[in-house]
Amino acid sequence: MANFSILVFLLLLFTTNTFSLQQEIELLKMTQTQVSQIMNNLLGKLGNEAMLVVDDHSHQNYSSTSVALRDCANLYEESEYRLSYMMNSMNSSYYYYDNDDALSWVSALMTNHETCLDGLKEKGYVGAHDEVLENGNLTMLLGQALDLYAKRKGKAKPKAERAFSRSSSNGGIMLASWNPSTSKADFIVSQDGSGTHRTIRDAVEALASRGSKNEERRIIYVRAGVYHEKVVIGPKLQNVMFVGDGMDRTIVTGSRSAADGSSTLGSATFDISGDGFWARDMTFENTAGPRKHQAVALKSGSDFSVFYRCRFRGYQDTLYVYANRQFYRDCQIYGTIDFIFGDATVVIQNSDIYVRKPMSSQSNYITAQGRENPKKPTGISIINCKVRPTSDFVTSESSIKTFLGRPWKKYSRTVVMKSDLDGLIDPKGWGPWDGEFAIRTLYYGEYMNYGSGASLRNRVNWPGFHVLNSANEASPFSVGEFLQGGRWIPASGVPFSSGI
């Protein structure tokens, strides 16, 4: 049950049309307190199992309880870090973030909380789940914070509150033009020992121990090779840039999966939380295969992240666009079921999407967007991409159906625009999750797609499906509007089209 003082405070906010700065600070402070209490209560309740909550890179077998607990602890630690940053910024002489930032970050906090609850349910640990639900009603606090920032969206902010420049920290470094022959890297990973480190993990640990300021852009150059590693870029490692020797030459690979005891989160070969992450000319893959079910190649919760000329290869749940604002350009994404999924605000532009052969009893779903609150700014926008089957799928049985997506959560939101859709796309276009779940509350849209799979004649007649008929209708999902990309993508030097 929620604390009485929290209920009184929330009632006061609910009955007023304006929020003072002090009320905003108090709301975030209460939220921060609840996050800390939940984390402490979980660890205390589970006793010795809490010792397993570490940043683990091994293949050690954990009980389902400890796997769920470890995920929750990591998620709430990320939330604590984000809330501390917001509080410190608000107590300074001027904001270091604006309303769009706050809306994205509070949405990510909600995603962390929802993901913890889902994971505990999935593993059947009712006790820990109840402890989270009953502790101060974090869901109510986050919902009120989201409502606050959603109401402010689009309103002008004082100049002082927009003073922070995201490009100022890069020191002229650009992802698109960085050259390993002429540019300097902080760390060089090479399996033959000719660099500073032989493994990516060692380079990341060295970077973390350096203690550099988060504002500095730091570069890890990964030379050609196949790296069998699990890599974690934590929330405190910000503005990190990875460059490889090409998506065919620099490959980070793993094989963790739900079938082998990992959680979906924990299965990720490459896991990123720190803001401002950039990557170029690399492949991230999970080789677990279609029989292993959820097996993530890359998971990103990094705000202002950019991926350029990267490949993401897996089967089910390949690319976990977990939270915050993300941009993918000139990439390749391979998978079978829900292989672009999560609750980020993400644009995938000028990229190739390859549908692989699933098990004979399965259908393919390219996306599974996970928005649970209609006020979240999140969604998946696919623009000017090509959708094609892989060669082995072309020759497989034609009875396997492929859909653009299905609604993972109630307010799932995905649009596909100006893209070349192959004939493998089922005429209905979109598939159900479970019966009629979310078909009235989701938002699925298509705009000016072409190719043999783009016909709208037999598309689903769900209330939530929309045919976008003009650039004005489509523009809210553009790089410029959906991501506010003009503010932060130019610093990377990566090409992009801002409008539709």
Active site residues: 338
In which residue are the tokens 């509150």 written?
161
* Alpha-carbon torsion angle 369, 370, 376, 379, nearest 10: -10
Helix (H) or strand (E) holding 335: strand 332-335
Helix (H) or strand (E) holding 422: none
Q: How many CB atoms lie within 10 A of CB 211?
A: 7
Tell me which residue of 393, 416, 395 sits closest to 465, measured CA to CA. 416
- The Cα 459–Cα 299 span in angstroms is 31
Query: Six-digit token pair at 468?
Result: 């976008």
Per-position DSSP letters for 254-282, written without gaps between them = E---GGGT--TGGG-SEEE-STT-EEES-
- The Cα 60–Cα 49 span in angstroms is 14
Q: What is the CA radius of gyration of the chain?
A: 22
CA atoms within 13 A on the CB side of 424: 28
In order of 94, 202, 417, the CA distances from 351 in angstroms are 39, 31, 12
Helix (H, G, I), strand (E, B) or coil at 352: strand
Q: Which residues contact 160 (CB under 8 A, 6 or more apart)?
A: 94, 95
Tell me which residue of 98, 96, 71, 68 sits closest to 84, measured CA to CA. 96
Q: How many CB atoms lie within 10 A of CB 434?
A: 8
Query: Six-digit token pair at 116?
Result: 């913890």
* Beta bridge mates, 345: 325, 379
In order of 125, 133, 217, 229, the CA distances from 68 in angstroms are 8, 15, 33, 22
In order of 18, 55, 181, 243, 492, the CA distances from 184 in angstroms are 50, 30, 8, 12, 16
Burial (Cβ within 10 Å: 0-12, 13-18, ≥19) of residue 85: middle
449: left (phi over 0), alpha (psi -120 to 50) or beta: beta
In order of 334, 354, 366, 385, the CA distances from 331 in angstroms are 10, 11, 15, 10
